[in-house]
Structure 1
Amino acid sequence: MDKFSAMRAFVRVVEAGSFTRAAEALGVPKAQVTRQVQALEQELRTLLLNRTTRRVTATAEGAAYYERAVSVLDDVEELESSLSHAKAHPRGRLRVDVPSPAATLVLLPALHEFCAQYPDIQIDLGISDRVVDLVAERVDCAIRGGTITDPSLIARRLGEIRRVACASPEYLRRHGMPQHPSDLEDETHRVISYFAHGSERLTYVMERGKERVEVHPKSGIAVNDSSAMLAAGLAGLGIARTGAFMAAPYVAAGSLQIVLPEWSAGVSPLYLVYPPNRHVPARLRVFIDWVVKLFDCALSGQTRGPATGLPNVHKELAL
C-alpha cells in the first residue's frame, strides 16, 4: 500500500463527505479510493469512517487521524515545493476565500488565465462575505475589505474600493433625486443599510473635499451581504451604497444611476491575507502575485473624485 496516497484519499473523503466526490477531486476511479481507505483501516486496525447511504463521516478515531494526516501531508507538500522543479512548476491544492462581488466580477472572469498558466494547481474557491478562520478552516488565503484586525495574518494590499450611492431609475422617479446627503434623512427617501452580525446598522458617511456629513437615514431594510445590497438597489427598494466597480456595469447599462455624484460614499482598503508559515508554498506565492496584478488592473479605473467615470471601471473589468 502507498501510505501517502491512502492518506490523501482518506483526507479527501473526509472533506468531501463522499467517496464519489473524493474520487472526482483526485481524478481517480471511486473503486481505487475505496480500496485505499479500506487498506489504511486494515493496517491501522481502526474504523476511520462511518459509512451511510447518504454521507460518509469520520469516527472519533478517524477525526483524530485526519488532523494528523493533514499536517503530515502539508509538511510533505511544503518540502516538495521548496525543490527547484516545484518552484518552476507549482502544483497542489489551494483553498481560497473571497467575497462574492470580488469573485464574480473580478476573480472568476479571469481565473482561466491562471489555470492555463498553472494547470497543476487546483483551487477550492469559497465565496461569501463571512470572515473565515484561516487556520482553523485550513484556508490558504482570503481577500478581505476594510482594516485587518488580526495581527497574526500577513496582509498584501490589493488596492481600495471606492463606494458610491446609487439607485434605480424607477426609485428616483418615485422619490426624486436627493441634492445633499442630509436629504437621505428625509421621510421621502429610503436607504438600504448594512449590518454586521452582532452589531447595529452602519452609519453612512459622505465626503466632498473637506466637507464631511454623517447620515442617519430612515431605513426599513438592512442586509449583511454586499451582493444583496446591490440587488436591493436594482430592485428599487432604496438608495444603496456599493463599490464603484460593482455599480459600473449597471450604470453603463442604465439600470442604476449615481446619487450625489460629487460626494464620496467612502473608501475601503482591500487586502489578500494569509497565515504566517515557515515557508510559503510555490502555488500560494504565484497565486498571490497573480491576484495582486489582477486587482490592480480591475480597480485602477475607479474614479478618484465624483463618480462620473464609473463606466470606465466596467471597461477595466472586461479584462
Structure 2
Amino acid sequence: METLGNLTSFVRAAEALNFSEAARRLGISAAAVSKNVARLESNLGTRLFHRSTRRLTLTEAGERLYAEVADSLDNIQAAIARTDEARQVPAGRLRVSLSPSFGMTHVLPLLADFKQRYPEVVPDWHFENRRVDLVAEGFDAAISGAVELVPGVVARELFKLHLVAVASPAFLKANPTPRGPDDLADLDGIVVRSTHSGRLRSWTLQHRDGTTCNVSLRPSVIMNDPEAICRCAVMGLGVTLAPVDCAYSWLQRGELVRLLPDWHVDLGAVVVYYSGQKLLPSKTRVFIDFLVEYCQRELAPRFRAV
C-alpha cells in the first residue's frame, strides 16, 4: 500500500518535471522527493520517470499513473485540510508584500479589524514597489497590479486598475484645459519611470466608446512612484496620468481635478496572488478572503474610471 507521501512526491515531480522544484513546493529536500519516487517505482515494479542530467520526463507508465491519481490526490489532501482546519485557529506569521501607497492607505487601516477576528495571526508585512517570488522569498501572499502568473500561483481580483488624467486647480488656472488626449502633450507633464524597465512610461487612453489614443506626456518632472506623481500634481507641477486608487482622496478633496472624464487607461486589475496549492494555511486563506471581500465591496465601485 503506497503512502500518501510517496504519491505526493510523484505528483508534484510530474507537475514540475523537476525534483528540486517539487521539493520547494512540498517544503522538503530534493533528495527526499527522489527517494520517495524511487520507493514508489520499486513497489510498483516499473519506472515512472526518464532521468538524465538535463531533464526529467514521464514514462508511459508515469503518464498513466499521473492521469489516474493527480485529481484524487488533490481531493484527498483538500479533504484532510478541511477536516484539520475545522479544529484549527488561524495562527502564525503572515508574510505579505504590498506597495507602500496602496498598503498604507487602504490595507493597513483594516489591520485592527483583522487582528480582532484573528488574534493569533501575526502580520509580517513588507511595503515595497516590486513583484516578489512567493516561493523563493517565503511570502504567503502579495498584492500587485498587472501580474503575470507563473505555474503554481493563482490570483484573485481586488479591483480594476485604471489611470486618469489629473492636475491641480492652480495649474489649470495658469494653463489651458485640455480638450482631448493630444492636448496633454502640450502641457508640463509629470511622468512615471517604470521600476522594472527603467523607461519613461507612455500610455494608451481609451474612450468610453472604445476609441483609443496613444499619449506620451512631455517630461517636466519624472518620478518612479504613483504616490509621488500625485503629490507633484497637487503641488501644481503639471498634468499626470495617475492610478485612481492613489488619486482618489485628492480628487475627493478638490486638490486634484480629473481631466478628460470620458478617457482612461485600462491596466487590468490589482490582485492578491498566492500559492495555487489546495492546502493553503488557514492564516493565508482567511486573510485573502477578508481582503477580497472588503475590496470588492468598498474599493471596486469607488475606483472604476467609467
Q: Structure 1-normalised TM-score?
A: 0.65
Would the alpha carbon gap of residues 182 and 85 (structure 1) be closer, same or farther in structure 2, given more than 3 Å must change? Answer: closer
How far residue 211 of structure 1 moved from its aligned partner, in angstroms, is 1.4
CA deviations 1:66-102 (Å, max 9, x no partner) are: xx9xx68xxxxxxx98764775411111000111232
Deviation at 1:272, TM superposition (A): 0.9
Instruction: Mark the CA change 1:292 to 1:303 in structure 2 (over 3 Å): closer, same or farther.
Output: closer
Instruction: Supply the AA of the counterpart residue of 2:203.
Output: Y
Q: Partner letter of residue 142 of structure 1?
A: A
Q: What is the distance in 1 between the residues matched to 2:282 and 2:253? A: 41
Equivalent runs, 1:261-276 vs 2, <5 Å: 261-276=261-276
Count of paired positions: 229
**Separation in 2 of the partners of 1:201 and 1:94?**
35
Contact kept in structure 1, 2:191 and 2:229, CA below 8 Å:
yes
SS of 1:90's partner is: coil
The separation in 1 between residues aligned to 2:157 and 2:265, in whole angstroms, is 21
User: What is the CA–CA distance in structure 2 between the aligned matches of 1:302 and 1:179, rounded to whole Å?
Assistant: 25
1:287 maps to which residue? Answer: 287
- Verify: 1:296 aligned to 2:288, yes or no: no
User: For the residues of structure 1 that align with 2:190 and 2:272, how far apart are their CA atoms?
Assistant: 30
**Does 1:94 find its partner at 2:87?**
no
Change (3 A) 1:260 1:100: same
Which residue of 1 is the match for residue 153 of structure 2? 153
Deviation at 1:217, TM superposition (A): 2.2
Shift of 1:184: 1.2
Map 1:114-263; keep pairs closer than 5 Å: 114-186=114-186, 188-208=187-207, 209-263=209-263
Following the alignment from structure 2 to structure 1, what is the Cα–Cα distance between the partners of residues 237 and 198? 22
**Taking structure 1 as reference, are residues 90 and 304 closer, same or farther at Cα in structure 2, changes over 3 Å only?**
closer
**Structure 1: gaps of 5 or more residues:** 1-67, 73-79, 307-319
- Aligned to 1:135, what secondary structure does the other structure show? helix
- Given the superposition, is the C-alpha separation of residues 83 and 263 from structure 1 closer, same or farther in structure 2, using an over 3 Å criterion? same
Contact 1:161 1:299 in 2 (8 A): no
CA distance, structure 2, for counterparts of residue 87 and residue 130 of structure 1? 36
| 3-state SS, counterpart of residue 189 of structure 2 | coil
> For the residues of structure 2 that align with 1:244 and 1:171, how far apart are their CA atoms?
19
Counterpart-to-counterpart distance in 1, 2:152 and 2:84 = 29
Letter in 2 for 1:196: T
Give CA-to-partner distance per residue, 1:253-308, whole Å, 9 cap, x none: 111111111211334311111134462111111111101101112323236555xx
In terms of mean alpha carbon deviation, does 275-284 or 247-256 score higher? 275-284
- Taking structure 2 as the reference length, the TM-score comes to 0.68
Q: For the residues of structure 2 that align with 1:120 and 1:303, how far apart are their CA atoms?
A: 32
Q: State the secondary structure of the residue aligned to 1:264.
A: strand
> In structure 2, the residue corresponding to 1:108 is in which secondary structure?
helix
Q: Which letter does structure 2 place at the counterpart of 1:260? A: L
Assess, with a 3 A threshold, how the Cα gap between structure 1 residues 118 and 223 changes in structure 2: closer, same or farther.
same
SS in 2 for 1:139: coil
Match of 1:106 in 2: 106
Over aligned residue pairs, what C-alpha RMSD do you find?
2.5
Gaps of 5+ in 2: 1-23, 29-79
Distance 1:178 1:268 in 2: 26
Seen in structure 2, the aligned counterparts of structure 1 residues 238 and 150 have a Cα distance that, compared at 3 Å, is farther
